Chains A and B, each alone.
Chain A
Amino acid sequence: AQKVTQAQTEISVVEKEDVTLDCVYETRDTTYYLFWYKQPPSGELVFLIRRNSFDEQNEISGRYSWNFQKSTSSFNFTITASQVVDSAVYFCALRTFGSGNTGKLIFGQGTTLQVKP
């Protein structure tokens, strides 16, 4: 079975705190891609990052960083020095090579992040 679990339903932090959003995935495929999307209050989904199963290098983009660990099937997302504008729902998603041409993205339930001033 293929599944993405975001165990944290809601997280609340104060501005400038660091926060990590957890993502755990399940798949039997050896080739797959992991994605993070941001959904701000306006409702649109914004692509943040893609990572393939053969590249376990961590990635940093400004205040955002991602930690991919195949050993624990996790792809966690950290925001450093959080800002109010980071308040959004964040989705982790999985797409496997075995999904063939369905284009199916398997989404986690989402984590609502609230950053308070």
Chain B
Amino acid sequence: IAGITQAPTSQILAAGRRMTLRCTQDMRHNAMYWYRQDLGLGLRLIHYSNTAGTTGKGEVPDGYSVSRANTDDFPLTLASAVPSQTSVYFCASSEGGNSYNEQFFGPGTRLTVL
């Protein structure tokens, strides 16, 4: 069982370019999340989806969009990348969106915007 896969592993991107980070899970979890990890700030929620077909904004959604066409995939798109979006991005999933469900994380994507 792979769990959660993310692609690419790392990417260097010119400012202003569009970029989609991919996330796929094989656990049939209903809920999925995108976080960004920045030094000294821990992880912060960007967007979430409690079930296929629905999405919501997290703590730092500006500059990012997501879609959830099916249960397994939850891509994160940067429409026009800026240097402040340089970060490590983690996709996560949980059985449901309830507060007691632990979240399982992917290996992360390291993104550098120049």
Contacts and interface: CB of A to CB of B under 8 A. Distances in A.
A complexed with B: yes
A47 B90 CA distance: 14
A104 B42 contact: no
Contact of B56 (A33, A44, A101, A109): A101
**Number of contact residues on A: which range applies?**
20 to 34
A50 interface: yes
Contact of A43 (B94, B100, B107): B107
Contacts of A33: 99-100
Contact of B103 (A32, A42, A103): A103
A32 B99 contact: yes
Interface of A: 4, 31-33, 35, 37, 42-47, 50, 52, 91, 95-97, 99, 101-105, 107-110
Interface size on B, as a range, is: 20 to 34
B82 interface: no
17 contacts: A4-B42, A42-B107, A44-B108, A45-B90, A101-B56, A101-B97, A102-B56, A102-B58, A103-B33, A103-B48, A103-B94, A104-B59, A105-B43, A105-B45, A107-B44, A109-B40, A109-B42
